[in-house]
């Protein structure tokens, strides 16, 4: 029973660390870029789009499709970076229990 008690304490500590990591994730701000920096956008840690910057040289008539493609690419860049940071923070919070496949625990 000693081992079970120790495991429960580890699980509780990990839950606390995961909650703290989720709070830090919510505060993250990630920038994605495309077109050599001609389009920049910012995602919050929650995935919410916070801002979009478009280089004025793209605002010429007939550039709508290019702008659309660049926005999608910048979003994909930011989302990839956000996903990587989220996974790293959660792995760090889970510590030795990361990847054990415990019920109710996120997969990393």
| pLDDT digit string, tens, across residues 1-48 | 568 787 788 778 878 888 888 888 889 999 999 999 999 999 998 889
Return the percentage of the chain with pLDDT > 90, whole number: 49
Q: pTM here? A: 0.72
Is the pLDDT at 108 greater than 50? The verdict is no
Rg of the chain (C-alpha set): 20
- Yes or no: say if 40 and 2 are a contact pair by the CB < 8 Å rule: no
């Amino acid at each position: 029973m000693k081992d079970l008690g120790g495991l429960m304490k580890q699980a509780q500590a990990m839950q606390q660390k995961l909650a703290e990591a989720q709070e830090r994730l919510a505060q993250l701000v990630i920038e994605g870029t495309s077109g050599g920096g001609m389009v920049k956008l910012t995602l919050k840690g929650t995935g919410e789009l916070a801002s979009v910057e478009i280089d004025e040289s793209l605002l010429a008539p007939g550039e709508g499709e290019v702008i659309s493609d660049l926005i999608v690419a910048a979003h994909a860049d930011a989302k990839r970076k956000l996903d990587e940071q989220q996974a790293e923070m959660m792995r760090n919070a889970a510590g030795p229990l990361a990847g054990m496949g415990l019920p109710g625990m996120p997969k990393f």
